[in-house]
Amino acid sequence: MNKKEKKTPLSSGLYILLSSLIVVIAVFLDQYTKFLAAAYLKGKEAISLIPGVLELKYLYPENRGIAFGMFQGSTAFFAVVSMILFILIIWIFLKMPKNRYYMPLMAVCVLMLSGALGNMIDRVFRGYVIDFIYFSLIDFPVFNMADIYVVCGGILLVIFVFFKYKKEDDFDFLSFRKKEK
């Protein structure tokens, strides 16, 4: 990527509008799949999508912990933590330079915002998170779309930090100090 491409600014308004639209669509998909899981899977046998590998299975009792059902019974605490993380991701998202160089990091923020918001909605309005996707091949904990968004965002973040954003000043936009001219 040349210097000109790196510094080409994107329209802030368009960037925020498009990102917000993607978050709304992703959260809608998460909430809709959870609605379908509660309506058609709760109290029923698992539906095998790929025999011996992938199932749709309503997790009961519901997940009152964090990702993959860890730390059960701390719903209020995790709702607050989710809210703090949601605000932190929005802050990073808004401080990030609006240019092509940071587009992959913007996508990570959109994924993580979508996942955090999807599960936060469940915790606040239901008191638990609906999980229904099960990899039976490796007996992986049951999860949902929001978990997929957060995990994929986290994996991409690690990859980008180690392989793309390696320069010392790549994260200067997060500094509270004023940049010297």
Is 172 annotated in the active site?
no
- For residue 181, give the 3-state DSSP assignment: coil
Nearest Cα neighbor of 113 from 159, 68, 146, 74 is 146
Q: Catalytic pick from 122, 147, 169, 172? A: 147
131 classed as catalytic: yes
The C-alpha angle with vertex 134 and arms to 130 and 66, in degrees rounded to 5, equals: 45
Q: What are the distances in angstroms from CA 12 to CA 25, 133, 171?
A: 20, 36, 19
CB 146 within 8 Å of CB 93: no
Query: In angstroms, rounded to a whole number, what is the distance separating the alpha carbons of residues 1 and 6?
Result: 7
What separation in angstroms does the CA of 133 have from each of 23, 47, 51, 56, 172?
Answer: 21, 10, 13, 5, 39
Determine which one of 122, 131, 139, 169 is catalytic: 131
Residues of the chain by 3-state class (helix, strand, coil), percent to 5: 60, 10, 35
Q: Which residues form the catalytic set?
A: 131, 147
